[in-house]
Amino acid sequence: MKTLVVGAGGREHALAWKLAQSPRVQTIFVAPGNAGTDQLATNVPIPATKIKDLVSFARQEKIDLTVVGPEAPLAAGLVDAFTAQGLSVFGPTHKAAAIESSKVFSKNLMKKYKIPTASYAVFTDAGQATDYVRRQKMPLVLKADGLAAGKGVVIAQHEDEAVAAVNNILEGSLFGAAGNRLIVEEHLDGEEVTVLAVCDGKHILPLVSSQDHKRIYAGDRGPNTGGMGAYSPVPALTPDLFTRVEQEILKPAIYALAAEGFPFTGVLYAGVMLTAAGPKVLEYNARFGDPETQAVLPRLETDLVDLIEAAIRGELDQIQLAWNPNAALTVVLASAGYPGPYKTGYVIEGIDEAMQFADTHVFQAGTACVDGKTVTAGGRVLAVTGLGHNLKIARECAYTAAEKIKFQGCYLRPDIGWRALSSP
């Protein structure tokens, strides 16, 4: 079969790598891809949000299955456009993707269907929001409604910061249309976990748990990033808590979206805070996580095509997933300056050497091929995943391989997995 992966990051490299293991897959295209996907697939120079061009390409090449990585094309209706042309595609429709693309829609859905989440209020008027914020206890969380590439959330420790965030989001130009509405939310304490679930509109099949590391510096300090590393499974998510996430957070969301008339097919990402009062939703995303996917997919033994096709047919209840019992840990190598401004175009050495290690995978993200050399082309440049009998061994594998990879200004967090590894 001929497949197409839409996107250009480490997540998409991991998806293409997993598709390549399926005996059912003969051809993989990645649009637009990176230097890593170019080695196991054919890159197509169409940006992920050029939906019309992607439809034309898929029709022309007679693509049998398209898998979408990032949120922007989902929110822009890629799945609707492909389906209208009779093309098989895995991901939610524009309307179902609103669970990620509008935080107000998502919070209101959670409230209506009694899904546990932080209490909140929605504002469009900066004056009213400021009055409200001044009456709340700190810390307080302020969020822009729309997609803001992970940068739309401010955790204000003091009233002044909260008031500044109100103005930045509602009146500043920083968030564009994403900032037309503001959510002010209760601050939740606890450990964060991600649970991804494959969904077919009616049924869900949760994947193994993972934990992202969103902050740039060790010890979870500094500004938020797209994610600096991940590991799987998360010991803090006990079997009992995992069942609660499935029953109280994932199943009700799929039920709610179907009941509202927007059945969700694709991957539902639950970002969950394990609070003293039980698991609560921080956010839903409408897609695989990045870098969580790079830690989760290497553990999946089931054929990804069988799984995705069952989801598209609405037959997920027929599938039982098989998992590698090993732990996985992924460390991201980033450009100096990320998540702020950074330079690109530096030659990357040592990828082949890193790939020689057993139980190790290198997933490329912000890379490009220039004059036969692999060079940096983004903020998050690569992700290295190690597997092992336990998390400690997985960490050793990941960091030993990551050490072989060199480029000017390479930055990585030295402490991926610290919460799990430092707990008794």
* Interaction site with ligand AMP (CB under 6 A): 118, 141, 143, 153, 155, 185-188, 192, 214, 271, 282-283
- Partner from ligand GLY, ligand AMP, none contacting 285, C-beta within 5 to 8 A by type: ligand GLY
Q: How far is the CB of 210 from ligand GLY (least distance, A)?
A: 9
- Partner from ligand GLY, ligand AMP, none contacting 245, C-beta within 5 to 8 A by type: none
Q: How far is the CB of 347 from ligand AMP (least distance, A)?
A: 33
- Nearer to ligand GLY by Cβ, of 246 and 292: the residue is 292
- Partner from ligand GLY, ligand AMP, none contacting 118, C-beta within 5 to 8 A by type: ligand AMP
- Partner from ligand AMP, ligand GLY, none contacting 185, C-beta within 5 to 8 A by type: ligand AMP
Distance CA 93, CA 236 (A): 33
- Nearer to ligand GLY by Cβ, of 153 and 387: the residue is 153
- Nearer to ligand AMP by Cβ, of 214 and 361: the residue is 214
Q: How far is the CB of 115 from ligand AMP (least distance, A)?
A: 14
> How far from 374 is each of 33, 37, 152, 344, 377, CA to CA, in Å?
13, 12, 32, 11, 9
- Partner from ligand AMP, ligand GLY, none contacting 141, C-beta within 5 to 8 A by type: ligand AMP
- Nearer to ligand GLY by Cβ, of 200 and 212: the residue is 212
Q: How far is the CB of 417 from ligand AMP (least distance, A)?
A: 17
- Partner from ligand GLY, ligand AMP, none contacting 215, C-beta within 5 to 8 A by type: none
Which residues of this chain interact with ligand GLY, rule CB under 6 A?
Answer: 212, 227, 285, 289-290, 292
- Nearer to ligand GLY by Cβ, of 100 and 309: the residue is 100
- Partner from ligand GLY, ligand AMP, none contacting 289, C-beta within 5 to 8 A by type: ligand GLY
SS3 for the chain, per residue?
A: CEEEEEECCHHHHHHHHHHHCCCCCCEEEEEECCCCHHHHCEECCCCCCCHHHHHHHHHHHCCCEEEECCHHHHHCCHHHHHHHCCCCEECCCCCCCHHHHCHHHHHHHHHHCCCCECCEEEECCHHHHHHHHHCCCCCEEEEECCCCCCCCEEEECCHHHHHHHHHHHHCCCCCHHHHCCEEEEECCCCEEEEEEEEEECCCEEECCCEEECCEEECCCEEEECCCCEEEECCCCCCHHHHHHHHHHHHHHHHHHHHHCCCCCEEEEEEEEEEECCEEEEEEEECCCCCCHHHHHHHHECCCHHHHHHHHHHCCHHHCCCCECCCEEEEEEEECCCCCCCCCCCCECECHHHHHCCCCEEEEECCEEEECCEEEECCCEEEEEEEEECCHHHHHHHHHHHHCCCECCCCECCCCCCHHHHHCC
- Nearer to ligand AMP by Cβ, of 201 and 227: the residue is 227
At 423, list the tokens: 């707990």
Q: How far is the CB of 364 from ligand GLY (least distance, A)?
A: 17
- Partner from ligand AMP, ligand GLY, none contacting 290, C-beta within 5 to 8 A by type: ligand GLY
- Nearer to ligand GLY by Cβ, of 81 and 272: the residue is 272
Q: How far is the CB of 378 from ligand GLY (least distance, A)?
A: 15
- Partner from ligand AMP, ligand GLY, none contacting 188, C-beta within 5 to 8 A by type: ligand AMP
Q: How far is the CB of 187 from ligand AMP (least distance, A)?
A: 4
- Nearer to ligand GLY by Cβ, of 248 and 292: the residue is 292
Q: How far is the CB of 284 from ligand AMP (least distance, A)?
A: 9
Distance CA 66, CA 79 (A): 9
Q: How far is the CB of 280 from ligand AMP (least distance, A)?
A: 8
Strands 215-217 and 380-388 turn out to be unpaired
- Nearer to ligand GLY by Cβ, of 70 and 252: the residue is 70
Q: How far is the CB of 155 from ligand AMP (least distance, A)?
A: 6
Tally Cβ neighbours within 10 Å of residue 76. Answer: 18
Confirm if 390 and 206 have CB atoms less than 8 A apart: no
- Nearer to ligand AMP by Cβ, of 6 and 184: the residue is 184
